[in-house]
Chain A
Amino acid sequence: MKFTLSWLRQHLETDAPLAALTDTLSAIGLEVEGVEDRGAALAPFRIAEVLAAVPHPNADRLRACQVSAGGERVSVVCGAPNARAGMKAVFAPPGSFIPGSGITLKTGEIRGVTSAGMLLSLREMGLGEDHDGIVELPADAPVGASYASWAGLDDPVIEIAVTPNRGDALSVRGIARDLAAAGLGELKPWTAPEVAGGFASPLGWAIDWPEACPWVLGRLIRGLRNGPSPRWLAERLRSVGLRPINTLVDITNFFTLDLGRPLHVFDAGKLAGPTLTLRAGRCENLRALDGRDYVATPADCVIADATGVQSLAGVIGGAASGCEAATNSVFVECALFDPVRIGQTGRRLQIASDARQRFERGIDAALMRPALEAATRMILDLCGGAASTVAEAGAAPAWRREASLRFARLESFGGVADLAPETAVGYLEKLGFTPLARDAARVRVAVPSWRRDIAAAGPLDLAPALQAQRATLTEAAHEMEAEADLIEEVLRLHRLDRVPPVSLPPLAAVPQPSLTPRQSRTALARRGLAARGLVEAVSFSFTDRQSAAAFAEPAAALGLLNPIATDLGQMRPTPLASLAQAARRNAARGQTAIALFEIGPAFTDPTPQGQHLIAAGLRCGAPARHWIATRKLDAIAAKADALAVLLALGIAEESLSATRDAPGFYHPGRSGVLRQGPKLVLAQFGELHPSLRAAFDLPAPAVGFEVFLDRIPEPKRRRRALALAALQPVRRDFAFLADADTSAEAVLRAARGADRALIAEVALFDVYADEGMAEGERSLGVEVVLQPRERALTDAEIEAVCARVIGAVAKATGARLRSESA
């Protein structure tokens, strides 16, 4: 909403400086988005008369002028072709800053002729691109006066953002009322001049759709002369960015902004009477005043004459019945429309008109008649003619509401202790609330017709399980809402900055943990992965369908209905999809040894249970070269990352087993799943499938992992008591010859299980194959650590345990001992 300071002063008696007005507007909820004060830059420029203009004696293209700006004659050298004696122009004295050229003027001499100032073009004043010559003002422009003030440019333009609840603030008068209530002046009284009708209106109204339009007024004015608006009106509209069109249209725009009351003017000569009907659209086409064609559907309210649709009611008028310069009789429409339907029509047809903006927020039902009177008066004053009586249909809807404020709530809810009841009531009265009853504890007020947001008492949207309590909760909500509405009005005018801040009372001397165990484990996983050398990424939860499809069949239920771009249209099946794209971008920028991780959501279906928290990581590319050899990436490196997360989160390594059933985007032979028991999959890892790697242009090798954080069981609370053994452990090495199908994990597990009491540790220290072995056969070097507890082991006992290890491994896996070293 834009308005000028002078327009505001038509409604507000104030001597407050501009800065106080704008600061107050922002503080009370009418946030100032910008203040344009063009006058400030134009302040030094005066209206001058060119007394003489002769060719410059020493330059063909220049003219030597004698100029008076009210004081003495000055000599000015001017290059403009249109400079001539007798013209009125804009003069910049020496010392003034020229906005268009960025120069500060000095008195100088141009080829022997003194130049003490400058005659300005629009471009030099920063007011346009016109540089054909200097500005030529009308002959009656007052010499010596400030150009900015004469041209109406010294009037600051203020733009505010109006929140959806404040339809009343989409009018200069509404803004003035708020400022007056906030103590920045007095609201000037306004009453509509009544205009008696001289004849019955030949056009009447019919309402076929009262839900969309409960009440409508209209008035015919005939014998008028339309044409350009007088200067004050044209300038007023221009100052806020509206283009003047003709007097009748300009008058409707004026009242839209001045009172927040949109009106529409039909050229009565172009309407087929005798009745204008408010009804639902019938999929008819309408060419609107913006020159575009719209189809009025049965959801849209239209105004139709005998030939068809003439206006999309409350949104935009039709071109065919619009007022033009030649219009000599007009039918003025002043109506109330249902805000919801106006909003729906405007949104669907994408029409952002000033009328829609106001009807959508709801307008003042009590202003219907006064606004029509005021508009009639202005039309008669500016265009002449004679007005009919008022034609109407429907009736004023019930808009009267009441609300109560308990003064104690200003402190117990609003937190302000020293706000006297008189002050609070005073604020409300200045906003137009009328006290109906008041005692020491409370006041009951009538809500003004323009504040549709106060005590509006809409229905609740209860949680399904609470339907039984609807009556109680509705009563409580409406009572408290109306009071909160009033408290808000009082506090915003009193200023929120005057509410003393109070720190929250502590709940306990030492606060409880803020995170649930699951949340703190997520934080731990994040730190753990970063500590392992992976850099954390945060990427969009959606990706393109094709990238998603590389990881899992994209579910239609997870496709956005209105994606912002096709590459952001599908909820991702795993953060790995985002990481693969990130790795591609980094590789394309020449990054090597890429190591990224993300802890974020993955989606399998749209229910809350279908949204999973996953810690995923991706490493790719050859490791950075170094004079100390670094290990190449492989699936086992990804397994190490996944395992590190699981171990950090309290999973015992022995409880995990690796199986070969990772999903297909991993290399089928070089990937695995880490699971606890047969059902619980905690992680998957591996080399990425070569075709996926190729699809994402990832450098080789590329390995990844995913840890399913939601599935990790809560760790046990307590550690076991520690019993440190006094005796030295005994170490024995074994070399098992295992065939291709035998997993290392099975060998180690069997060895560990051979004697649960004595065997403290089992480690694989070597994997080896040579030509002497059968195809696929491997030698697995296993170290077994025996920890005696009560007494040292005898050689015989050690031999017996070793034999059990060999036996257990052979039985479980078929692997046989290759050699034994003591």
Chain B
Amino acid sequence: MTDDLASLEAETVAALSAAGDLRAWDAIRVGVLGKSGRLTLLLKALGALAPEARRARGEALNVLRDRLAAAIEARRLALEADALAARLAGERIDITLPPPPATEGLIHPISRAMEEIVAIFGAMGFTVAEGPDIETDWHNFGALNIPAHHPARADLDTFYLPPAEADGAPLVLRTHTSPVQVRSMLSAPPPIRVIVPGRTYRADHDATHSPMFHQCEGLVIGQGITLGHLKGCLIDFLRAFFALPDLPVRFRSSYFPFTEPSMEVDIGWDRKSGEIGGGKDWLEILGSGMVHPKVLANCGIDPREWQGFAFGMGIERVAMLKHGITDLRPFYESDLRWLRHYGSNPLAPAMLHEGL
């Protein structure tokens, strides 16, 4: 390489590294490779040389051109990367800023408990039945073997509404979800396997009683349904609901007008700690029994052919036990602080395969 070419290369490389931005870089590019650039002029001057000299000179110039073009391009990439880095550095934000709060809503613990109850009984083949809150005396009492003078009526603290007909019996706010048993039996022939979660009403208001509360009724009618099934079904439910496979469950004789035999169901717990399943104490959790033959007959089902069981449980009660809630009243007070504490995520509904 002749001296002039070597110095062109050296000067160009030096200039490129000195170029601080793309503008300076472009000036160098034009000064070397542009129309009147130094290398372009040298290439144009080739024509004036003798053929021998032209070839050698041409070869040298081509090599130099390739090298300079590569050096120029490399410098451009480097300058662009520097420029981007500088721009991004200027775009820094405070990443500790809080994002807009999630507009998080929640499901009420009563709804949640109902969902769980339905999921578990659903797996046992139950469907959900419903009925009106304002009932006739017959649906709430008469059909269920609670005649007008029955002492059990006095215990039920019924709310009354004006009678539908002038001389008729007053309507009632249902005192239990049991009238839906009657509606279920009248609406379709057995076999029947339904649960009835819903609102119920009794004229009682203190720390442990609310004038409105929720119950879940259950009714199973079939041809071979025995008291053994009653026990199995309720034990299966309680152990699944409290997620305690060894939960102690006991059955005590009792009395309800609409079942016979009737029984109360207790689960094991520790009175002191409130822990379910532990300790030596028993806690009453639901009432149940074999459906009374008169109830079946009142609804047109022949008790010689069909038999079954029914049960009723307080939804607030099981929700309180499961979540360690000690006071009944806040369930209905809609205090957002309470709801935010005890509410559950709407995107995680009760599903057996995800676990309750």
Residues of A within 8 A of B (CB): 26-29, 31, 163-166, 339-340, 343-344, 347, 360-361, 411-416, 458, 460-463, 465-466, 469, 472-474, 476-481, 484-485, 487-488, 491-492, 496-497, 499-504, 506-508, 511-516, 519, 523, 526-542, 556-565, 568, 571, 578-579, 582, 585-586, 589, 591, 594-597, 599-601, 603, 606-608, 610-611, 624, 626-628, 630
Complex Cα distance A461/B140, Å? Answer: 12
Docked complex Cα distance between A412 and B252 (Å): 20
Contact A533 B134 (CB under 8 A): no
Ranked 9 nearest A-B pairs via Cβ: A415-B228, A533-B103, A514-B122, A29-B253, A582-B334, A163-B255, A530-B346, A415-B226, A530-B105
With A496-B251, A523-B115, A527-B347 given, is the CB distance from A511 to B261 under 8 Å? no
**In the complex, which of the residues B110, B155, B297, B337 has the most CB atoms of chain A within 10 Å of its own CB atom?**
B297
The smallest beta-carbon distance between A398 and chain B, in angstroms, is 20
**Alpha-carbon separation in the docked complex, A105 to B138 (Å):** 65
Closest CB of chain B to A502's CB: distance in Å? 4
28 contacts between A and B (CB under 8 A): A31-B252, A163-B255, A414-B261, A460-B297, A463-B138, A466-B298, A474-B297, A496-B261, A504-B125, A514-B118, A514-B122, A514-B127, A526-B111, A526-B346, A527-B346, A527-B347, A528-B346, A530-B107, A536-B111, A537-B108, A539-B334, A564-B211, A571-B134, A591-B336, A606-B134, A611-B132, A626-B98, A626-B101
- Among B6-14, B20-28, B41-49, B288-296, which stretch is in contact with chain A? B288-296
When distances are taken between beta carbons in the complex, the residues of chain A under 8 Å from B297 are 460, 462, 473-474, 476-477
**Chain A residues within 8 Å of B76, by CB:** none
- Tell me if B147 is interfacial: C-beta within 8 Å of chain A: yes
Cα–Cα distance between A595 and B334 once the two chains are bound (Å) = 11
CA distance A416 to B134 in the complex (A): 40
Q: Is the CB of A511 within 8 A of B138?
A: no
Contact, CB under 8 Å: B261 / A488: yes
The residue in chain A whose Cβ has the minimal distance to the Cβ of B316 is A538
Residues of A close to B340: CB separation below 8 A: 535
- Kindly provide the distance from the CB of A228 to the nearest chain B CB, expressed in whole angstroms: 36
Cβ–Cβ < 8 Å partners of A515 in chain B? 118, 122, 127-128
Q: Select one of A466, A484, A501, A626 contacting B261, CB under 8 A.
A: A484
CA distance A478 to B230 in the complex (A): 23
Which of B51-59, B77-85, B199-207 sits within the interface?
A: B199-207
Interface check B70, CB cutoff 8 A: no
Contact of B260 among A481, A578, A586 (CB under 8 A): A481
Q: Which residues from chain A contact B252 at a C-beta distance below 8 Å?
A: 26-27, 29, 31, 496
A514–B128 touching, CB < 8 Å: yes
A514-B128, A591-B336 known; A540-B233 Cβ under 8 A: no
Judged by a CB distance under 8 angstroms, whether B100 is at the interface is yes
Given contacts A164-B255, A491-B261, A561-B170, contact A531 B227 (CB under 8 A): no
Contact in complex: B293, A611 (CB < 8 Å): no
Contact partners of B224 in chain A: CB under 8 A: 412
A477 touches B293 (CB 8 A): yes
- Across the interface, do A538 and B331 meet the contact criterion of CB distance under 8 Å? yes
| B226 surroundings in chain A (CB, below 8 A) | 411-415, 502
Write out the residue numbers on chain B whose beta carbons fall within 8 Å of the beta carbon of A480. Answer: 293, 303-304
| In the complex with contacts A28-B253, A532-B103, A585-B335, A503-B236 CB distance below 8 A | yes
Residues of chain B at interface, number, CB under 8 A? 110
- For the complex formed, measure the closest distance between the CB of A357 and the CB atoms of chain B, giving whole angstroms: 9
Determine whether the beta carbon of B228 is less than 8 Å from that of A500. yes
Judge whether A589 and B132 touch: CB under 8 Å: no
In the complex, chain A residues whose CB is within 8 Å of the CB of B105: 529-536, 595, 597
Asked if B161 and A559 make an inter-chain contact with CB atoms under 8 angstroms apart, the answer reads yes
Instruction: List CB contacts (< 8 Å) of B102-146 with chain A.
Output: 102-108, 110-111, 115, 118-119, 121-128, 130-134, 138, 142-143, 145
Taken together as a complex, chains A and B put the C-alpha atoms of A504 and B307 apart, in Å, by 14
B-chain residues with CB within 8 Å of residue A594 when the two chains form the complex: 336
Rounded to whole Å, the gap between the CB of B21 and the closest CB of chain A is 37
Distance between Cα atoms of A710 and B130 in the complex (Å):
13
Known: A503-B233, A628-B100. A463 touches B254 (CB 8 A): no
Task: Give bound CA distance, A311 to B193, whole Å.
Answer: 52
Bound complex: CA of A506 vs CA of B233, how far in Å?
11
Q: Which one of A484, A492, A519 contacts B290 once the chains associate, using CB atoms below 8 Å?
A: A484
Q: Are B143 and A484 in contact (CB under 8 A)?
A: no
Q: How far in angstroms is the closest Cβ of chain B from A282?
A: 23
A417 closest partner in B (C-beta): B228
**Bound Cα distance from A343 to B154, whole angstroms:** 10
Does A484 contact B292, Cβ atoms closer than 8 Å? yes
Given contacts A484-B260, A529-B105, A589-B335, contact A501 B300 (CB under 8 A): no
Within the assembled complex, what's the spacing in Å between the Cα atoms of A560 and B162? 7
The verdict on A596 contacting B334 (CB below 8 Å), with A488-B260, A502-B229 known, is yes
Please state if B133 and A501 are interface contacts (CB–CB under 8 Å).
no
Known A-B contacts A460-B294, A606-B161; the reply to A466 vs B229 at CB < 8 A is no
Give the CA-CA distance A535 to B128 in the complex, in Å.
Answer: 25
Q: A527 to chain B: closest CB distance in Å?
A: 4
- Whose C-beta in chain A lies nearest to the C-beta of B170? A561
Does B171 interact with chain A (Cβ within 8 Å)?
Answer: yes
Q: For residue A595, which residue of chain B has the nearest CB?
A: B105
Q: A361-B151, A476-B304, A562-B203 are in contact. Are A512 and B125 (CB under 8 A)?
A: yes
Known: A502-B232, A504-B229. A473 touches B300 (CB 8 A): yes
A624 to B193, CA, bound (A): 48
Contact partners of A466 in chain B: CB under 8 A: 298-300
Taking a contact as CB atoms closer than 8 A, the residue among A476, A519, A562 that contacts B130 in the complex is A519
**C-alpha spacing A513/B104, complex, angstroms:** 29
**Residue in B99, B171, B296, B304 whose CB lies within 8 Å of A479:** B304
How many Å lie between the Cα of A499 and that of B235 in the bound state? 13
- A762 and B296 CA atoms in complex are apart in Å by 59
Interface status of B159 (Cβ within 8 A of chain A) = yes
Residues of A within 8 A of B124 (CB): 503-504, 506, 511
B343 and A535 contact, CB distance less than 8 A: yes
Question: Do A539 and B332 have beta carbons less than 8 Å apart?
Answer: yes
* Complex CA distance for A247 and B61, rounded to whole angstroms: 142
| Residue in A511, A534, A579 with the greatest tally of chain B CB atoms within 10 Å | A511
Query: What residues on A are CB-neighbors of B149 within 8 Å?
Result: 339-340, 343-344
- CB of B67 within 8 Å of the partner chain: no
Tell me the residues in window 185-233 of chain B with beta carbons closer than 8 Å to chain A beta carbons: 186, 193, 195, 199, 201, 203-205, 211-212, 220, 224, 226-233
Q: 14 new A-B pairs (CB below 8 Å) besides A416-B227, A529-B346?
A: A29-B254, A29-B255, A31-B264, A347-B154, A360-B151, A461-B298, A477-B296, A492-B261, A499-B228, A523-B115, A530-B105, A535-B336, A560-B159, A561-B170
Q: Which residues of A contact B147 (CB under 8 A)?
A: 458, 461
Residues of B within 8 A of A344 (CB): 149
Q: Which residues of B contact A564 (CB under 8 A)?
A: 159, 203-205, 211
Q: A530 CA to B111 CA in the complex, in Å?
A: 12
Contact indicator B228/A416 (Cβ below 8 Å): yes
Nearest-neighbour CB distance to chain B for A447, whole angstroms, equals 15
Nearest-CB residue, chain B, relative to A583: B334
B302: CB under 8 A from chain A? yes
